[in-house]
């Protein structure tokens, strides 16, 4: 049954994501709203993706945030996006780090139009990470610190550990 | 190699979003039509884009059947990692493409339970097929039906101007 290889088609992914962002920009007046929607959709994806991840990777429970960071960069990103960001810029307290993406499959061939300077094009990824980690009892804050689409040299995602979530309490929003 | 499941979840989320947006704007029956056509149109542009990227070296096709075979083999493999399982035609411009395990339906339970909702998860792909064919010089109307998930059939009716 699982003989069919189901490998990522990054062109399809990129074009579909682009179509989605375009539609969101049509539906919402401003970039902030689009960013929020992308985050929300990402969250919904993240809470399901983590189940797939836990079922298919042989990764056990992470003991600390550093381990979590490594798993995210070296296993999860590789498994779902075919890239391995590097983990850098740890805060002294060890509760915050950056993922540096040399390339980002979501943005191949994409150019931001002039009137969308506030758009965080790949914001879906922040939601995915947030949703996925919430399901393993970690509340995190995720945002883009740098974005090649906006002229920066690299794409940098900043992740901050907020707190451990008690099990059996209802999770965040729908 | 990276897995396609992220895309499958993205697709589901996209469909749910388009449906939610339409619900907040239109009356019930109209909702279904608008959401389907929004998704179909999104797929159309993407289908055109996909074909552009990978037919640069392909020689031109001798007839519609040739185009359809290309769609069933090369295109379907490129996009869905497998070929169409069965192609039928009445030799009068109608083609039925059968995919016994359609990639975008495998996340749903293999039961009749979600049958009513299945069409909304096929609209985007119908658009992709129509868009791909359009760039290959073929105008068509593409519809899909599911009787038992995850198998589905795409019907392509070639339009002559």
Give per-residue pLDDT as tens, A122-150. 999 999 999 999 999 999 999 999 999 88
**Closest listed residue to residue B78, CA positions, set B155, B152, B4:** B4
Strand A96-101 and strand A155-164: the pairing is antiparallel
CA dihedral A103, A105, A111, A115 (to 10 degrees): -110
Please tell me whether residue B118 adopts helix, strand or coil conformation.
helix
Interface test with B, best of A10, A18, A23 (most B CBs within 10 A): A23
pLDDT at res. B1: 60
Contacts with A162 (C-beta within 8 Å, 6 or more apart), sequence order: A139, A140, A141
Judge whether A43 is closer than 8 Å to chain B, CB to CB: no
Judge whether A28 is closer than 8 Å to chain B, CB to CB: no
The ipTM estimated for the assembled molecules is 0.90
Judge whether B11 is closer than 8 Å to chain A, CB to CB: yes
pTM of the model: 0.90
Nearest residue on chain A to B9, judged by CA atoms? Answer: A45
B59: which DSSP letter?
P
> Taking phi first (over 0 means left), then psi (-120 to 50 degrees means alpha), and beta for anything else, what does residue B81 get?
left
Judge whether A9 is closer than 8 Å to chain B, CB to CB: yes
Judge whether A12 is closer than 8 Å to chain B, CB to CB: yes
CB contact under 8 A, B7 and A45: no
pLDDT, tens digit (0-9, with 9 covering 90-100), for A53-103: 999 988 888 889 999 999 999 999 999 999 999 999 999 999 999 999 988
How far is B79 from chain A, CA to nearest CA, in Å? 7
Distance CA B50, CA A4 (A): 22
Nearest residue on chain B to A13, judged by CA atoms? Answer: B7
Contacts with B95 (C-beta within 8 Å, 6 or more apart), sequence order: B68, B87, B88, B89, B155, B156, B157, B158
């Amino acid at each position: 049954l699982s003989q069919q290889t189901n490998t990522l088609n990054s062109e399809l992914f990129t074009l579909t994501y682009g179509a989605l962002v375009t539609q969101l920009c049509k539906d919402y007046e401003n970039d902030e709203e689009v960013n929020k929607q992308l985050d929300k959709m990402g969250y919904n994806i993240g809470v399901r993706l983590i189940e797939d991840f836990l079922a298919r990777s042989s990764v056990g429970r992470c003991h600390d945030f550093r381990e979590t960071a490594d798993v995210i960069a070296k296993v999860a990103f590789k498994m779902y996006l075919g890239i391995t960001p590097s983990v850098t810029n740890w805060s002294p307290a060890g509760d915050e780090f950056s993922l540096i993406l040399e390339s980002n499959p979501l943005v191949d061939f994409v150019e931001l139009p002039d009137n969308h300077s506030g758009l965080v094009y790949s914001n879906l990824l922040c939601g995915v990470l947030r949703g996925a980690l919430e399901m393993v009892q970690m509340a995190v804050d995720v945002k883009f610190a740098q974005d090649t689409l906006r002229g920066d040299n690299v794409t940098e995602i900043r992740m901050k550990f907020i707190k451990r979530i008690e099990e059996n309490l209802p999770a965040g929003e729908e | 190699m990276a897995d396609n499941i992220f895309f499958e979840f993205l697709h589901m989320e996209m469909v749910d979003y388009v449906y939610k947006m339409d619900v907040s704007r239109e009356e019930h029956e109209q909702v279904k039509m608008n959401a389907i056509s929004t998704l179909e149109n999104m797929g159309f542009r993407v289908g055109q884009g996909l074909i552009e990227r990978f037919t640069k070296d392909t020689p031109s096709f001798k007839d519609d059947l040739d185009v359809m075979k290309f769609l069933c083999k090369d295109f379907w493999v490129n996009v869905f990692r497998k070929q169409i399982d069965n192609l039928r035609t009445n030799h009068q411009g109608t083609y039925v493409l059968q995919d016994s395990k359609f990639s975008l339906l495998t996340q749903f339970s293999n039961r009749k339970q979600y049958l009513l909702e299945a069409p909304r998860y096929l609209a985007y792909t119908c658009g992709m097929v129509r868009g791909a064919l359009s760039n290959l010089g073929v105008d068509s109307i593409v519809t899909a039906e599911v009787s038992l998930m995850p198998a589905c059939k795409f019907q392509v009716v070639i339009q002559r101007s």
